[in-house]
Structure 1
Amino acid sequence: MIGSDTLVYRMLFNLMENAIRYNRPDGAVTISICKDEKFIQIRVADTGFGIPEQYRESIFQPFFRVDKSRSREHGGVGLGLSLVWEIAALHGGAVTVEESSGAGTVVLVTLRG
């Protein structure tokens, strides 16, 4: 992959930080990476409470929060996932919520390999 190691590091850091921050107290975070001839796929999975379906695209918008009342409790200003979105786009890729339920969330980042 050709790209900015600093930006890719920030993207991974933000994904992991969110997965940890919004997880259950005894939860787990799993990161997996797959590569084929054209793409690299990075999946960050947590065992948190999930993201309601109506917010799964909005979470990548700057300053958006699913639960506004939790912002002080968890810190941050709501820019982490919007940065992930921009960094993926800069590297010819995309980011989506691949699946989410009461058992957790999987975020998929696809980058050009």
Structure 2
Amino acid sequence: MVGRADNTYDSRPVSDPRQLRILEVRYDTIRAEALTTKESSVFIEQVLGRHDRLIQEQLQQQRENGNDCVGRETPATIHIRDSKRPDGAHLAVPPAVWTAFVGPRTR
């Protein structure tokens, strides 16, 4: 039997039975502690929901303080809107496009 040991930097075949057993035990330990597919889905939805609520709260606070924000970030997209027409249309662009547009002026 041959297995593979993968890490961030490389992948290598493993054929030594003792090493294979060690990898198997480690994998089983990690898998036993992992969330199920359903649990993972629920967790992701909770995190994204919290993130979205936080963004909405921040936007509301900025509006109340007279500082209309013109953009907001989500994990996969940057949403850009007209601060004078916050309920109007918006653009959704990938983070790399937004970063190229604004350059080092942010963060």
TM-score (normalised: structure 2): 0.28
Q: What is the TM-score with the length of structure 1 in the denominator?
A: 0.27
Larger Rg: 2
Query: Could you say which structure has the higher helix fraction?
Result: 2
Which structure carries more relative contact order (alpha carbon 8 Å, separation 6+)? 1
Higher strand share: 1
